[in-house]
Amino acid sequence: MTGSFESTLRYCLWGLLFFAAIPMWWFLLNRALSPWRALRMKNLELSESPHAVSGGCLRIGTYNIAHGRGPGPYRNSRELLAKEDVINRLTQIAQLLREERLDIVVLNEVDFDSLWSCCLNQAEFIARKAGLSFLAEQRNIDMAIPLTRIRYGNAILSRYPILAARRLPFAGHSALETIFVGRKQGLLCTVKISESCSIRVLAVHLEHRQESTRLRAAKTIEEVRKGSPLPLIAAGDFNSTPVGFPHATPDSGGQTAVSWLLAGGAYQTCPVGAPSREDSTFWSLEPSAVIDWILVPECWSIISKTTINRPLSDHLAVVMEVEIGRASMDS
């Protein structure tokens, strides 16, 4: 009897260990497969066709949509949201993009299949509602265990065809975090504006915890700019602001990522002087920091730049209208 009891107990313990290990193996398998899901391009084939570039002008937007959770204090609370609320907010975001008549939009913190936001592909949902036929998606975070999953990153939506897309790895906060969770990366796309003009658009979302890590990413962005004759737009949530701006956090050398990029002379943006409250993009309910940026080639002309004061996220959207340089139009 004793031997039979010990044998049964041993089988029970092995069974418990097996079932306890399922979440771990599920998690590891998901992480192993994540590189194959990390990038996607799609033509939604909407009825709205690209319009001609009027006078060489483009309207560009960038928006950290914060998973469609709205402007509320959710940073330390990842509760599930009602699907109706998420859809309503994403619809409002898409309507904002449509009203602004945007040609190219960079989105940060976009969920692709996350349980906490009802497993919606937010990039595709917004693109369809906004009438932007072409999109590219790139995942920064991709984790899953049984009954839950978190997958989000950057997206570029475009009125014009996206010819190519690739991930741009940035320095991570730590090696272990990169392996087991993921890291913020860039999404680099080539967009065909006309038969004679193609440009590159880089969706940027930099690490929020350390300026030195953001500076390393800025140097990667500069290498990309130098690596092709096509003009480069870099836009998104840089989590960085120039030295001397409110909430700037220079590294030990007294530099920030945005200051370093602008100091090279290859980019221009707004604001360049002391920012007004209307320039601030974060926190959307009481904006006091300029951390969402659109950087365009120095040879282009900035016609206008607006921060849209509509708190549908914890960030505010930024819209810039630019005139493409003649040399770029003939490239």
State how far the alpha carbon of 267 is from the alpha carbons of 93, 104, 241, in Å. 28, 18, 15
Cα 224–229–230 angle (5° rounding)?
80
Asked if pLDDT for residue 73 goes beyond 80, the answer is no
- Residue 312 pLDDT > 90: yes
Phi, then psi, of 91 in degrees rounded to 5 = -65, -40
Least reliable range by pLDDT among 22-36, 54-68, 166-180: 22-36
In the block, tokens 């036929």 appear at 133
What are 234-244's pLDDT values in tens digits?
A: 999 999 999 99
317/64 Cα distance (integer angstroms): 7
Query: Distance of CA 244 to CAs 133, 210, 240, Å?
Result: 40, 17, 12
d(CA 61, CA 53) in angstroms, rounded, equals: 16
pLDDT confidence tier of residue 331, bands split at 50, 70 and 90: low
Task: Please name the residue that has the structure tokens 């849209």.
Answer: 308
Strand order in the sheet with 104-111: 39-43, 134-145, 148-158, 104-111, 57-64, 317-323, 301-308
Q: Take residue 109 and report the two structure tokens written for it.
A: 């913190």
Which pLDDT tens digit goes with each residue over 130-175?
Answer: 999 999 999 998 877 777 788 899 999 999 999 999 999 998 888 8
In degrees to the nearest 10, what's the CA dihedral of 289, 294, 298, 299?
-140
**DSSP SS3 for 38:** coil
Contacts 24+ apart (CB under 8 A), 55-58: 55/323, 56/323, 56/324, 56/326, 56/329, 57/303, 57/321, 57/322, 57/323, 57/324, 58/103, 58/104, 58/193, 58/321, 58/322, 58/324
Query: HSE of 224 in the Cβ direction (CA atoms, 13 Å)?
Result: 27
Q: In the predicted model, is pLDDT for residue 310 greater than 90?
A: yes
Q: Which residues contact 308 (CB under 8 A, 6 or more apart)?
A: 96, 100, 316, 317, 318, 319
Q: What is the pLDDT of residues 170-208, one digit of tens each?
A: 988 888 888 777 888 999 999 999 998 999 999 999 999
* Helix, strand, coil distribution of the chain in percent, nearest 5: 30, 30, 35
Mean pLDDT of all residues belonging to the chain: 88
Q: What is the pLDDT of residue 102?
A: 97
pTM assigned to the model: 0.90
Give CA separation, 115 vs 26, 39, 74, 77, 148, in Å.
16, 20, 15, 14, 6
Taking the CA atoms of residue 100, residue 241, residue 187 and residue 92 in that order, the dihedral angle to the nearest 10 degrees is -30
Domains of the chain: 44-326 (3.60.10.10)
Which amino acid appears at position 229 of this protein?
A: P
Residue type, 175: A
Q: CA Rg, the chain, in Å?
A: 22
Q: Where are the beta strands (DSSP E) in 96-224?
A: 104-111, 134-145, 148-158, 162-169, 185-194, 197-205
